[in-house]
Amino acid sequence: MSENVINGKQIVADIRGKLKEEIDLLAAEGFRPGLAVVLVGEDPASAVYVRNKAKACEQVGIYSEVHRLPAETSQVELLELVDKLNRDTKIHGILVQLPLPKHISEDAVIDAIAVEKDVDGFHPINVGNLSIGKPSLLPCTPAGVIEIIKRTGITISGKRAVVIGRSNIVGKPVSMLLLRENATVTVCHSRTENMKELCREADILVVAIGKPKFVTKEFVKPGAVVIDVGINRLEDGTLAGDVDFNDVVDTAGPITPVPGVVGPMTITMLLHNTLQAAKALRA
Ligand SMILES: NC(=O)C1=CN([C@@H]2O[C@H](COP(=O)(O)OP(=O)(O)OC[C@H]3O[C@@H](n4cnc5c(N)ncnc54)[C@H](OP(=O)(O)O)[C@@H]3O)[C@@H](O)[C@H]2O)C=CC1
Ligand SMILES: Nc1nc(=O)c2c([nH]1)NC[C@@H]1CN(c3ccc(C(=O)N[C@@H](CCC(=O)O)C(=O)O)cc3)C=[N+]21
Protein backbone atom coordinates (compact mmCIF):
# COMPACT_ATOMS: atom_id res chain seq x y z
CA MET A 1 0.00 0.00 0.00
CA SER A 2 1.24 3.53 -0.79
CA GLU A 3 2.92 5.34 2.05
CA ASN A 4 0.32 8.15 2.04
CA VAL A 5 -2.44 5.76 3.14
CA ILE A 6 -3.23 6.44 6.79
CA ASN A 7 -2.77 3.40 9.03
CA GLY A 8 -5.90 3.20 11.17
CA LYS A 9 -4.84 0.04 13.01
CA GLN A 10 -1.75 1.76 14.36
CA ILE A 11 -3.54 4.95 15.49
CA VAL A 12 -6.35 3.01 17.12
CA ALA A 13 -4.00 0.57 18.89
CA ASP A 14 -1.93 3.47 20.20
CA ILE A 15 -4.90 5.39 21.63
CA ARG A 16 -6.67 2.30 23.01
CA GLY A 17 -3.41 1.22 24.67
CA LYS A 18 -3.18 4.56 26.49
CA LEU A 19 -6.85 4.40 27.50
CA LYS A 20 -6.35 0.91 28.89
CA GLU A 21 -3.41 2.04 31.02
CA GLU A 22 -5.49 4.79 32.58
CA ILE A 23 -8.51 2.51 33.07
CA ASP A 24 -6.31 -0.16 34.70
CA LEU A 25 -5.14 2.42 37.25
CA LEU A 26 -8.75 3.34 38.07
CA ALA A 27 -9.66 -0.36 38.31
CA ALA A 28 -6.86 -0.81 40.84
CA GLU A 29 -8.67 1.80 42.96
CA GLY A 30 -11.90 -0.17 42.57
CA PHE A 31 -13.49 2.17 40.00
CA ARG A 32 -14.61 1.05 36.55
CA PRO A 33 -16.08 3.27 33.80
CA GLY A 34 -19.37 1.91 32.41
CA LEU A 35 -21.14 2.36 29.06
CA ALA A 36 -24.74 1.50 28.18
CA VAL A 37 -25.64 1.10 24.51
CA VAL A 38 -29.30 1.01 23.54
CA LEU A 39 -30.38 -0.56 20.26
CA VAL A 40 -34.02 -0.37 19.18
CA GLY A 41 -35.04 -2.66 16.30
CA GLU A 42 -33.05 -4.96 14.06
CA ASP A 43 -31.07 -2.77 11.61
CA PRO A 44 -28.19 -5.12 10.57
CA ALA A 45 -25.57 -2.34 10.20
CA SER A 46 -26.43 -0.99 13.66
CA ALA A 47 -26.12 -4.49 15.10
CA VAL A 48 -22.55 -4.72 13.71
CA TYR A 49 -21.57 -1.34 15.21
CA VAL A 50 -23.07 -2.20 18.57
CA ARG A 51 -21.13 -5.48 18.67
CA ASN A 52 -17.93 -3.61 17.76
CA LYS A 53 -18.55 -1.13 20.58
CA ALA A 54 -19.03 -3.88 23.17
CA LYS A 55 -15.87 -5.64 21.97
CA ALA A 56 -13.86 -2.40 22.16
CA CYS A 57 -15.06 -1.77 25.73
CA GLU A 58 -13.91 -5.20 26.75
CA GLN A 59 -10.52 -4.60 25.14
CA VAL A 60 -9.79 -1.53 27.32
CA GLY A 61 -11.58 -2.63 30.50
CA ILE A 62 -14.75 -0.54 30.31
CA TYR A 63 -17.87 -2.23 31.73
CA SER A 64 -20.54 -2.32 29.04
CA GLU A 65 -24.12 -3.43 28.70
CA VAL A 66 -26.25 -3.57 25.58
CA HIS A 67 -30.00 -3.06 25.82
CA ARG A 68 -31.70 -4.61 22.78
CA LEU A 69 -35.31 -3.50 22.47
CA PRO A 70 -37.88 -4.64 19.88
CA ALA A 71 -38.75 -2.27 17.00
CA GLU A 72 -42.25 -1.79 18.48
CA THR A 73 -40.88 -0.26 21.70
CA SER A 74 -42.80 2.93 22.48
CA GLN A 75 -41.16 6.30 23.03
CA VAL A 76 -42.36 6.26 26.64
CA GLU A 77 -40.72 2.88 27.26
CA LEU A 78 -37.45 4.08 25.73
CA LEU A 79 -37.53 7.28 27.81
CA GLU A 80 -38.09 5.16 30.92
CA LEU A 81 -34.97 3.13 30.13
CA VAL A 82 -32.93 6.31 29.54
CA ASP A 83 -34.14 7.68 32.86
CA LYS A 84 -33.12 4.47 34.62
CA LEU A 85 -29.66 4.61 33.02
CA ASN A 86 -29.32 8.30 33.97
CA ARG A 87 -29.71 7.25 37.62
CA ASP A 88 -27.57 4.07 37.42
CA THR A 89 -24.25 4.72 39.19
CA LYS A 90 -22.46 1.88 37.30
CA ILE A 91 -23.16 3.72 34.04
CA HIS A 92 -21.19 6.83 33.03
CA GLY A 93 -21.96 6.88 29.31
CA ILE A 94 -25.23 6.34 27.44
CA LEU A 95 -25.45 5.84 23.69
CA VAL A 96 -28.78 5.33 21.95
CA GLN A 97 -27.99 3.98 18.50
CA LEU A 98 -29.44 6.09 15.66
CA PRO A 99 -31.51 6.00 13.54
CA LEU A 100 -34.51 5.15 15.74
CA PRO A 101 -37.77 3.70 14.39
CA LYS A 102 -39.99 6.42 12.85
CA HIS A 103 -42.54 6.48 15.69
CA ILE A 104 -39.88 7.65 18.17
CA SER A 105 -38.63 11.25 18.26
CA GLU A 106 -34.82 11.22 18.20
CA ASP A 107 -34.77 14.75 19.64
CA ALA A 108 -36.91 13.74 22.61
CA VAL A 109 -34.62 10.80 23.38
CA ILE A 110 -31.38 12.77 23.02
CA ASP A 111 -32.78 15.57 25.20
CA ALA A 112 -33.58 13.00 27.91
CA ILE A 113 -29.99 11.72 28.22
CA ALA A 114 -28.13 13.26 31.17
CA VAL A 115 -25.71 15.84 29.70
CA GLU A 116 -22.81 14.38 31.75
CA LYS A 117 -23.49 10.89 30.30
CA ASP A 118 -24.02 12.00 26.69
CA VAL A 119 -20.93 10.27 25.26
CA ASP A 120 -22.23 10.84 21.69
CA GLY A 121 -22.06 14.61 22.25
CA PHE A 122 -25.49 14.98 20.65
CA HIS A 123 -27.33 16.70 23.53
CA PRO A 124 -28.17 20.35 22.72
CA ILE A 125 -26.15 21.53 25.75
CA ASN A 126 -23.04 19.69 24.55
CA VAL A 127 -23.63 20.95 20.99
CA GLY A 128 -24.01 24.51 22.32
CA ASN A 129 -20.87 24.28 24.44
CA LEU A 130 -18.93 23.01 21.41
CA SER A 131 -20.11 25.96 19.33
CA ILE A 132 -19.17 28.57 21.97
CA GLY A 133 -15.83 26.89 22.69
CA LYS A 134 -16.54 25.62 26.21
CA PRO A 135 -15.42 22.16 27.36
CA SER A 136 -17.95 19.46 26.52
CA LEU A 137 -18.26 15.85 25.44
CA LEU A 138 -17.36 15.96 21.72
CA PRO A 139 -19.21 13.93 19.08
CA CYS A 140 -17.15 10.80 18.39
CA THR A 141 -16.80 10.78 14.60
CA PRO A 142 -15.83 14.48 14.36
CA ALA A 143 -13.40 14.21 17.30
CA GLY A 144 -11.86 11.16 15.59
CA VAL A 145 -11.47 13.07 12.32
CA ILE A 146 -9.52 15.85 14.07
CA GLU A 147 -7.29 13.33 15.87
CA ILE A 148 -6.53 11.58 12.55
CA ILE A 149 -5.62 14.89 10.86
CA LYS A 150 -3.34 15.87 13.76
CA ARG A 151 -1.56 12.54 13.56
CA THR A 152 -0.65 13.12 9.90
CA GLY A 153 1.73 15.71 11.33
CA ILE A 154 0.22 18.67 9.47
CA THR A 155 -0.64 21.89 11.28
CA ILE A 156 -4.36 22.62 11.01
CA SER A 157 -4.06 26.26 12.04
CA GLY A 158 -4.24 28.62 9.06
CA LYS A 159 -5.03 25.89 6.52
CA ARG A 160 -7.98 25.87 4.09
CA ALA A 161 -10.39 23.10 5.11
CA VAL A 162 -13.41 22.06 3.06
CA VAL A 163 -16.08 19.81 4.56
CA ILE A 164 -18.64 18.18 2.25
CA GLY A 165 -21.82 17.48 4.23
CA ARG A 166 -23.58 19.49 6.97
CA SER A 167 -25.40 16.87 9.05
CA ASN A 168 -25.73 17.39 12.79
CA ILE A 169 -23.77 14.23 13.54
CA VAL A 170 -20.82 14.70 11.16
CA GLY A 171 -20.52 17.68 8.80
CA LYS A 172 -21.55 20.48 11.14
CA PRO A 173 -19.55 19.40 14.21
CA VAL A 174 -16.46 18.58 12.07
CA SER A 175 -16.67 22.12 10.70
CA MET A 176 -16.93 23.59 14.22
CA LEU A 177 -13.93 21.58 15.42
CA LEU A 178 -11.81 22.57 12.41
CA LEU A 179 -12.71 26.20 13.05
CA ARG A 180 -11.71 25.79 16.68
CA GLU A 181 -8.34 24.48 15.43
CA ASN A 182 -8.02 27.75 13.45
CA ALA A 183 -8.57 26.33 9.98
CA THR A 184 -10.39 28.50 7.44
CA VAL A 185 -13.48 26.38 6.87
CA THR A 186 -15.86 26.06 3.92
CA VAL A 187 -18.91 23.81 4.31
CA CYS A 188 -20.41 22.33 1.12
CA HIS A 189 -23.80 20.63 0.78
CA SER A 190 -26.32 19.57 -1.83
CA ARG A 191 -27.02 23.18 -2.93
CA THR A 192 -23.36 24.22 -3.25
CA GLU A 193 -22.33 25.58 -6.65
CA ASN A 194 -18.81 25.06 -8.03
CA MET A 195 -18.08 22.36 -5.47
CA LYS A 196 -15.14 20.90 -7.39
CA GLU A 197 -13.43 24.28 -7.57
CA LEU A 198 -13.98 24.91 -3.85
CA CYS A 199 -12.68 21.46 -2.94
CA ARG A 200 -9.59 21.87 -5.10
CA GLU A 201 -8.52 24.78 -2.85
CA ALA A 202 -8.59 22.60 0.25
CA ASP A 203 -5.47 21.60 2.16
CA ILE A 204 -7.80 19.40 4.22
CA LEU A 205 -10.85 17.76 2.62
CA VAL A 206 -13.38 15.96 4.84
CA VAL A 207 -16.15 14.08 3.05
CA ALA A 208 -19.40 12.96 4.75
CA ILE A 209 -22.24 12.75 2.24
CA GLY A 210 -23.29 9.09 2.01
CA LYS A 211 -22.67 8.77 -1.77
CA PRO A 212 -20.30 5.94 -2.72
CA LYS A 213 -17.11 7.03 -4.57
CA PHE A 214 -18.51 10.53 -5.19
CA VAL A 215 -15.23 12.39 -4.76
CA THR A 216 -12.77 11.86 -7.62
CA LYS A 217 -9.33 13.32 -8.24
CA GLU A 218 -10.81 16.45 -9.88
CA PHE A 219 -11.91 17.49 -6.35
CA VAL A 220 -8.46 17.12 -4.81
CA LYS A 221 -5.53 19.51 -4.63
CA PRO A 222 -2.29 17.55 -4.99
CA GLY A 223 -0.97 16.62 -1.55
CA ALA A 224 -4.17 17.52 0.33
CA VAL A 225 -5.23 15.51 3.39
CA VAL A 226 -8.38 13.54 2.47
CA ILE A 227 -10.58 12.14 5.26
CA ASP A 228 -13.39 9.87 4.08
CA VAL A 229 -16.17 9.49 6.65
CA GLY A 230 -18.60 7.74 4.30
CA ILE A 231 -19.61 4.13 4.86
CA ASN A 232 -21.72 2.76 2.02
CA ARG A 233 -22.59 -0.86 1.50
CA LEU A 234 -22.48 -1.74 -2.21
CA GLU A 235 -24.68 -4.31 -3.94
CA ASP A 236 -21.88 -6.88 -3.87
CA GLY A 237 -21.78 -6.56 -0.07
CA THR A 238 -18.46 -4.69 0.10
CA LEU A 239 -18.02 -1.31 1.80
CA ALA A 240 -17.09 1.88 -0.05
CA GLY A 241 -16.39 5.37 1.20
CA ASP A 242 -17.67 8.63 -0.27
CA VAL A 243 -14.26 9.03 -1.92
CA ASP A 244 -13.21 7.05 -4.99
CA PHE A 245 -10.08 5.86 -3.22
CA ASN A 246 -8.30 4.26 -6.21
CA ASP A 247 -8.85 7.36 -8.32
CA VAL A 248 -7.71 9.81 -5.62
CA VAL A 249 -4.88 7.97 -3.88
CA ASP A 250 -2.10 9.12 -6.23
CA THR A 251 -3.17 12.78 -6.10
CA ALA A 252 -3.91 13.12 -2.38
CA GLY A 253 -1.46 13.44 0.47
CA PRO A 254 -2.45 11.49 3.60
CA ILE A 255 -5.74 9.69 2.86
CA THR A 256 -8.02 7.36 4.85
CA PRO A 257 -9.18 4.07 3.30
CA VAL A 258 -12.70 2.74 3.99
CA PRO A 259 -13.08 0.56 5.95
CA GLY A 260 -10.30 0.85 8.49
CA VAL A 261 -9.77 4.35 9.89
CA VAL A 262 -12.69 6.70 10.61
CA GLY A 263 -15.08 3.92 11.79
CA PRO A 264 -12.65 2.36 14.29
CA MET A 265 -11.59 5.87 15.42
CA THR A 266 -15.25 6.73 16.09
CA ILE A 267 -15.43 3.80 18.48
CA THR A 268 -12.10 4.76 20.03
CA MET A 269 -13.42 8.27 20.75
CA LEU A 270 -16.49 6.69 22.34
CA LEU A 271 -14.16 4.84 24.74
CA HIS A 272 -12.30 8.11 25.38
CA ASN A 273 -15.57 9.96 26.10
CA THR A 274 -16.77 7.22 28.44
CA LEU A 275 -13.55 7.51 30.44
CA GLN A 276 -13.85 11.34 30.54
CA ALA A 277 -17.48 11.12 31.64
CA ALA A 278 -16.63 8.54 34.31
CA LYS A 279 -13.83 10.68 35.74
CA ALA A 280 -16.05 13.78 35.79
CA LEU A 281 -18.93 11.92 37.47
CA ARG A 282 -16.59 10.40 40.05
CA ALA A 283 -14.98 13.70 41.01
N1 LIG B 1 -17.44 6.30 10.13
C2 LIG B 1 -18.38 6.65 11.00
O3 LIG B 1 -18.21 6.47 12.17
C4 LIG B 1 -19.63 7.27 10.52
C5 LIG B 1 -19.92 7.26 9.18
N6 LIG B 1 -21.04 7.86 8.70
C7 LIG B 1 -21.24 7.86 7.23
O8 LIG B 1 -20.97 9.18 6.75
C9 LIG B 1 -21.82 9.48 5.65
C10 LIG B 1 -22.61 10.74 5.95
O11 LIG B 1 -23.43 10.54 7.07
P12 LIG B 1 -24.43 11.65 7.64
O13 LIG B 1 -23.69 12.92 7.85
O14 LIG B 1 -25.15 11.02 8.75
O15 LIG B 1 -25.40 11.79 6.34
P16 LIG B 1 -26.67 12.68 6.07
O17 LIG B 1 -27.43 11.98 5.01
O18 LIG B 1 -27.33 13.06 7.35
O19 LIG B 1 -26.06 14.03 5.46
C20 LIG B 1 -25.47 14.05 4.19
C21 LIG B 1 -24.97 15.45 3.90
O22 LIG B 1 -24.34 15.42 2.62
C23 LIG B 1 -24.90 16.41 1.79
N24 LIG B 1 -24.94 15.88 0.43
C25 LIG B 1 -25.62 14.80 -0.03
N26 LIG B 1 -25.41 14.63 -1.33
C27 LIG B 1 -24.57 15.62 -1.73
C28 LIG B 1 -23.99 15.99 -2.96
N29 LIG B 1 -24.23 15.30 -4.08
N30 LIG B 1 -23.19 17.07 -3.00
C31 LIG B 1 -22.94 17.78 -1.88
N32 LIG B 1 -23.45 17.48 -0.68
C33 LIG B 1 -24.27 16.42 -0.60
C34 LIG B 1 -26.28 16.69 2.32
O35 LIG B 1 -26.64 18.00 1.95
P36 LIG B 1 -28.03 18.72 2.40
O37 LIG B 1 -27.83 19.09 3.84
O38 LIG B 1 -28.12 19.89 1.50
O39 LIG B 1 -29.09 17.68 2.20
C40 LIG B 1 -26.07 16.50 3.83
O41 LIG B 1 -25.63 17.69 4.43
C42 LIG B 1 -22.66 8.22 5.44
O43 LIG B 1 -22.03 7.42 4.48
C44 LIG B 1 -22.64 7.55 6.79
O45 LIG B 1 -22.81 6.16 6.69
C46 LIG B 1 -21.90 8.52 9.54
C47 LIG B 1 -21.67 8.55 10.89
C48 LIG B 1 -20.52 7.91 11.49
N1 LIG C 1 -25.93 7.25 18.55
C2 LIG C 1 -25.13 6.91 17.55
N3 LIG C 1 -23.79 7.15 17.65
C4 LIG C 1 -22.95 6.79 16.65
O5 LIG C 1 -21.72 7.03 16.73
C6 LIG C 1 -23.49 6.15 15.48
C7 LIG C 1 -24.87 5.93 15.43
N8 LIG C 1 -25.66 6.33 16.48
N9 LIG C 1 -25.43 5.37 14.34
C10 LIG C 1 -24.63 4.90 13.21
C11 LIG C 1 -23.32 5.64 13.08
C12 LIG C 1 -22.27 4.89 12.30
N13 LIG C 1 -21.23 4.58 13.25
C14 LIG C 1 -20.14 3.75 13.00
C15 LIG C 1 -19.31 3.27 13.98
C16 LIG C 1 -18.29 2.38 13.70
C17 LIG C 1 -18.05 1.96 12.42
C18 LIG C 1 -16.97 0.98 12.14
O19 LIG C 1 -16.39 0.38 13.02
N20 LIG C 1 -16.64 0.75 10.86
C21 LIG C 1 -15.62 -0.18 10.40
C22 LIG C 1 -16.21 -1.31 9.54
C23 LIG C 1 -17.45 -1.94 10.10
C24 LIG C 1 -18.09 -2.93 9.12
O25 LIG C 1 -17.38 -3.84 8.66
O26 LIG C 1 -19.27 -2.71 8.78
C27 LIG C 1 -14.63 0.55 9.52
O28 LIG C 1 -15.01 1.56 8.92
O29 LIG C 1 -13.50 0.10 9.41
C30 LIG C 1 -18.86 2.45 11.43
C31 LIG C 1 -19.89 3.35 11.71
C32 LIG C 1 -21.55 5.09 14.46
N33 LIG C 1 -22.70 5.75 14.41
* Nearest residue by C-alpha to atom 48 in ligand 1: 141
Residues 146 and 258 in one domain: yes
Residues 156 and 222 in one domain: yes
Residues 206 and 245 in one domain: yes
Q: Identify the band that residue 229 occupies on the pLDDT scale cut at 50, 70 and 90.
A: very high
Look at residue 1 in the predicted model and tell me its pLDDT.
66
Residue 124, domain member (yes or no): no
The response to whether 231 counts as a known ligand-binding position is yes
Q: Does the CB atom of residue 48 touch ligand 2 within 6 A? A: yes
pLDDT tens, 169-196? 999 999 999 999 999 999 999 999 999 9
The CATH number of whichever domain residue 104 belongs to comes to: 3.40.50.10860
The response to whether 167 counts as a known ligand-binding position is yes
Ligand in nearest proximity to the CA of 206: 1
Residues 188 and 224 in one domain: yes
The response to whether 210 counts as a known ligand-binding position is no
Residues 154 and 238 in one domain: yes
Q: Does the CB atom of residue 52 touch ligand 1 within 6 A? A: no
Task: Please report, for residues 49, 69, 120, 215, 241, the alpha-carbon distance to residue 73 in angstroms, rounded to integers and kept in the order given.
Answer: 20, 6, 22, 39, 32
Residues 111 and 144 in one domain: no
The response to whether 157 counts as a known ligand-binding position is no
Q: Does the CB atom of residue 243 touch ligand 1 within 6 A? A: no
239 in helix, strand or coil? strand
Ligand in nearest proximity to the CA of 122: 2
Residue 205, domain member (yes or no): yes
43 is catalytic: no
Domain boundary (55, 81, 116) is at 116
What range defines the domain where residue 178 resides? 140-263
pLDDT higher than 80, residue 127:
yes
pLDDT tens, 230-251? 999 999 999 999 999 999 999 9
Q: Does the CB atom of residue 241 touch ligand 1 within 6 A? A: no
Q: Say how far apart CA 22 and CA 62 lie, in whole Å.
A: 11
CB atoms within 10 A of CB 94: 26
Residues 253 and 145 in one domain: yes
Q: Does the CB atom of residue 257 touch ligand 2 within 6 A? A: no
Residue 126, domain member (yes or no): no
pTM exceeds 0.90, yes or no: yes
Residue 45 sits at the vertex; the CA angle it makes with 73 and 19, to the nearest 5 degrees, is 100
The CATH number of whichever domain residue 151 belongs to comes to: 3.40.50.720
- Please say whether the beta carbons of 82 and 109 come within 8 A: yes
pLDDT higher than 90, residue 2:
no
Of 42, 43, 55, 48, nearest in space to 12 by CA: 55
53 is catalytic: yes
On whether ipTM exceeds 0.90, the answer is yes
Measure CA 23 to chain center. 21
Ligand in nearest proximity to the CA of 165: 1
- Please say whether the beta carbons of 149 and 183 come within 8 A: no
- Residue tagged active-site, from 118, 120, 203, 242: 120
DSSP 105-117: -HHHHHHHS-GGG
Q: Say how far apart CA 9 and CA 48 lie, in whole Å.
A: 18
Residue 13, domain member (yes or no): no
- Residue tagged active-site, from 18, 20, 24, 53: 53
Residues 173 and 59 in one domain: no
- The rounded percent of the chain whose pLDDT value lies above 90 is 96
User: What is the overall mean pLDDT for the chain?
Assistant: 97
The amino acid at residue 274 is T
Q: Does the CB atom of residue 241 touch ligand 2 within 6 A? A: no
